[in-house]
Structures are given as C-alpha cells and as structure tokens.
Amino acid sequence: MKILAAVLALMVSSSLAAQRFSSAPGQARSMVVTKLGIVAAPQFLASQAGVHILEEGGNAADAAIAANAVMGVVEPYVNGIGGDLFALYYDAKAGKLYGLNSSGWTPKALTIDYLKARGIDHIDPIGVETIDVPGTVAGWDALRSRFGTLPFTKLLAPAIYYAQNGFPLAEKNARWWMDAKLLRQPGYKETFLPNGTAPALGDDFQNTALANSLRTVAQEGRDAFYNGTLTTTMVNFLRTQGGTHTLEDFRDFQPEWVDPISTTYRGWTVYELPPNGQGIAALSMLNIMEQFDLGHYGHNSADALQVMIEAKKLAYADMYNYVGDPRFTPMPVKQMLSKELAKRRSALIRIDKAMCQVAPSNIERMLSAHGNSTIYLSVIDKDGNIASLIQSNFGGYGTGMVAPGLGFSFHNRGAGFQLTPGLPNSLAGHKRPLHTIIPAFMEKNNIHIGFGIMGGWNQAQAHAQFVANVVDYGMNVQAALEQARFTKPSFQGCDVKMEETIPIAVRAELTKRGHRVEVLEPFSFDVGQGEAVVRDMARSVNFAGADPRSDGEAIPEEPNAQPTQSKE
C-alpha cells in the first residue's frame, strides 16, 4: 500500500507539473516562449516599444515605463499621465517582491465641510472635485530610480514619437475612442476629436501637445510635472474650473513603497498590494474559494461559478467595510486575510441558492461612480525580473478635462470618495481614495507569475478566476486569460454578468439558483483585459500570454545577433 501511495503521489505531482503549462480546448493563441525578455501590453505598439527598450539594454522596469508611456498616447481613453499608477516589481537577483503605490492625494483644502459649505452633497463623477494629484509620473520616477537603468530621454522616446508623428487607430482603439458625456468638458474635443469627429479604424491621430508634455518630463524629470512649468499650467487651469488645487499639493506629493500582502492558495502564494487598493478582496476571495474543491466541480461548471460568485460577494463586502487610506484609518489586514475568517465566511455559501444580501448590511452606500477604464501590462526581462504594472484614469478619460497645451485628460479617481464622515473612505484633504486598480503576482517553487486584469471593481474577482484557472484547472497563462469570465460590478443583489461562451445550460442552472444573469458578448470589455508573464527559474525560460479582449500582444525580445563571417 505504501508503494502504491508513493506511485500515486508521484503521478499527481507529475500531472500538476505538466498541467501548469497545459493548453485548454479552444485556446486561440499560443504562449510566447523565450529565454529573452517579453512585454505583454494591451496595445501592440506599447508592447513593441517596451521590447525596443529591452533590446537597448533596459530591464523590466525600464520597459514597463516605456510601454506605459506609449499606452497613454494610443489609449488615452483609459490611461495617461493625468492618472495614477501601482506596480509590483520582482527583483530576481534578490529574490524579493516590492510594491509601489503611486496613487495621488486630494488637494489639502478639499474636505467634506468645504463641499457642504458650497451646497454640494454628492460628488460629480466628472467634476473638478474628483481630480486628485496625478501619481503616474511620480510612479515612473520611483520605479526608474530604484530599479531602472536608462534615462527618461530614452524611455519616453517611443511615446513622444507616436504623439508627435501620429499612429493609425487599431480596432479596439476605434471602438472605444469617443465618450459623448465629455463633449462639453474643457479641452476634450480640441484634444481627442480632431475636426470635431472621432478617428476611425486606420485613421491617423496625433497629439503634439502631449508630445511636448512628455518631452518636458523626459528632459527635466519628475519636477517638470510636480514643481515646474507643467505644474503651474495644471494648477491655474484646475483653479479656473473651481478646484482647490495648489502648487504645494503637487510639490509635496510622494509615491510610497509598500510591502505586498499575500495569502496561500493550494500551495501557491498570491500577492497583491495593501490598502488603499481592492487587492485584499482578491486574496479574501481565494481564501473562501479554497474551502471548496473547485477542481472536482469542473471548470466554469454551475457549482464552481456558484462558489466563486458567492465568495466575491462576501469578500467585497468586507473590503468595502474596512478599506480606505491606511494613513487615516487603521486597516485590519491580518484579520481579513485569516484562514479562520475564510472558513466562517465560506459556511455562509449555499451551493444551491444565491445570496442577494450579504453582511455587512450597509454596503448599498457604495460608490456612485464605477470606473472600469484601466490598462494593465506585465514585463519580464532575460534575467527574470518582473514588472506587474497597472495605470488608470478611473472612468474612461476620467474627467475629460484637458489643460491648455498639455494634451492629457485629468483622471476622476476622487469620485471614489464618500461624503459621509467617519468612514474608512470618507473624503479628507491629502487623502487617497479606495482604489480599484491592482497588479498581482503569484509563485510556487521555481515558477513566478506577474499578472493582472483591468476593469474597475471587476479586477479582484477576475484575479481570483485567473488564479483558479492556473491552480485548480492546470491551464497555462494564455489559456487562463482566454477563458470566459463572470463579473459582478455591484455590491448587493443577485445580478451577475457572464460571457455567453459560458454554456447556456450552466447559465440556466445558475438562474434556477437565484442569480439574475446578464449575458455578455464573447471576449467582452466588461470582464476586463489582462496579461501575464512567467519565469521558470529551473530552466531560465520565460512565458507570456495576452488577452484577446484587447488590441494587445505579448512580444518577445530579439537577440542581439551578429552576422557570421563567411568562409573563404
């Protein structure tokens, strides 16, 4: 019996090792596999720009900055230097993971009392009061200063080129370019709708004002944005719009290096950034899911989806109740990530019936604004360093406001605050709101994976689904990204959205259990777009996948091959 048990254990171990990089039925793309670097971004021009930096001798940090800068040019409707940035960076030589929180704070004078004194009892989702100090440029500087090897003049050159000379719009670019609700916002039409119309597929788009802003940052560094001529232009514009922003609000802002938080999931360790982000909800959700045998249920079966949807509700309820800016309110992170709490929460899940209300019960006050417009990219270099980076305007173009001559829109991240005093996420001066954007990382033994999936409140639940695809169902990262997903954007009720590629019989069974299922098109924007890179340390091999829900690609670095001498 002992011999049989040992053989079975070996078979299971070998099976899991083989499954880790297995394709799935219907997988549309293959992973990229190389011993050199890879950049996986949601737009191919950004991926190519990052790869160019790798080929110029840069590392994962350098390539991530270059790719992100290009993303702000080619997809201004989701990201740009008017937004915020978070990153996880794995230093392969040190074997250590670092976290960067570069989410901006509110103007010091912007408080609940200030707004109420002016008769404002709710936050306008595209009003000037939603514009916190943008953190992106400061985040680039922090990442480059600590881990990068190349100067800004080289890293921002591809983005400056595309902004100055233009680029033809790709398919998803053209589909999501215009936002009609922003047409009256100052500077929006002049910047993003040349000749008053949105560019179509294949049309050329230029943004020379943005090229000049990026060129100024490249030449003068972060101070150009936070303590220079760009600062003065931004503050004067924002105050003209009724904002309370000051030069000091920009000058004093600094990003923060933080320790990632983590949990274990069936032998893997999964990392997220700590509050003020929603990453803790992904870890809480995984802790609850771990109490069920998802692999036995079958991928995207009614029982597996039942568990994950209900786990999402429970994890998000706790996240909402406790998470805000930890500099203002203590966060019970350790308690929220405890396995004991997960066991108690999992006991509330019925496999045959959906919960339409979950405790804590006061979560209907959740944000009135639901931004789902973000970019995520991941980079791995030849040495195994990994950058997992996410950047966003929050809702689309954010406010859509563009200061004269700058070429980028300001985000509306401050729409995430609440105007009820005394809550973890209550508005206050120099405070960071509860954030939706979260990069992620997971590892087991010699395998390291940098991954992320964008999309507002979709993100933590999408992370948990990705992890389950890899761990419970043995998928490679490309297959795991391609699989049909569900998303529940609300915090109460039995509503849930899922792509129609989830079998109709499964959707019917979930409806029978009480879920109100809204069917989405295949590869829907609503369930987010993701990328992932993998390092197999034992073999020094890199892998990557890119979500087909975007215009993106995972592109490998080319070797610096020299021509051989011909023999005489």
Distance CA 442, CA 466 (A): 11
Whether 374 is catalytic is yes
Ramachandran sector of residue 119 (left: φ over 0; alpha: ψ -120 to 50; beta: rest): left
Residue 559, amino acid: P
Helix (H, G, I), strand (E, B) or coil at 32: strand
Residue in 376, 406, 337, 371 with CA at minimum distance from that of residue 489 = 371
What would the pLDDT profile of 284-325 be if each residue is shown by its tens digit? 999 999 999 999 999 999 999 999 999 999 999 999 889 999
Residue in 62, 28, 9, 24 with CA at minimum distance from that of residue 380 = 62
Q: Structure pTM?
A: 0.93
Which ranges constitute the DSSP H helices of 150-207?
152-155, 157-165, 171-176, 188-192
What would the pLDDT profile of 225-250 be if each residue is shown by its tens digit? 999 999 999 999 999 999 999 999 99
DSSP state of 83: S
Residue in 91, 102, 47, 97 with CA at minimum distance from that of residue 71 = 47
| pLDDT tens for the 568 residues of the chain, in order | 333 333 333 333 333 343 356 787 778 899 999 999 999 999 999 999 999 999 999 999 999 999 999 999 999 999 999 999 999 999 999 999 999 999 999 999 999 999 999 999 999 999 999 999 999 999 999 999 999 999 999 999 999 999 999 999 999 889 999 999 999 999 999 999 988 899 999 999 999 999 999 999 999 999 999 999 999 999 999 999 999 999 999 999 999 999 999 999 999 999 999 999 999 999 999 999 999 999 999 999 999 999 999 999 999 999 988 999 999 988 889 999 999 999 999 999 999 999 999 874 232 333 334 455 689 999 999 999 999 999 999 989 999 999 999 999 999 999 989 999 999 999 999 999 999 999 999 999 999 999 999 988 999 999 999 999 999 999 999 999 999 999 999 988 999 999 999 999 999 999 999 999 999 999 999 999 999 999 999 999 999 999 999 999 999 999 987 776 655 5
Within 13 Å and on the Cβ side, how many CA atoms surround 258?
24
Distance CA 211, CA 167 (A): 13
Task: Name the active-site residue from 111, 231, 374, 487.
Answer: 374
Helix (H, G, I), strand (E, B) or coil at 167: strand
Distance CA 207, CA 159 (A): 11
Distance CA 358, CA 376 (A): 30
Asked if 262 and 271 touch (Cβ cutoff 8 Å), the reply is: yes
DSSP string, 377-431: EEEE-TT--EEEEEEEEESTTTT--B-TTT--BPP-GGGG-B-STTSTTB--TT-
Distance CA 350, CA 512 (A): 13
For 495-508, letters b (16+ CB in 10 Å) and e give ebbbbebbeeebbe
For 1-19, letters b (16+ CB in 10 Å) and e give eeeeeeeeeeeeeeeeeee
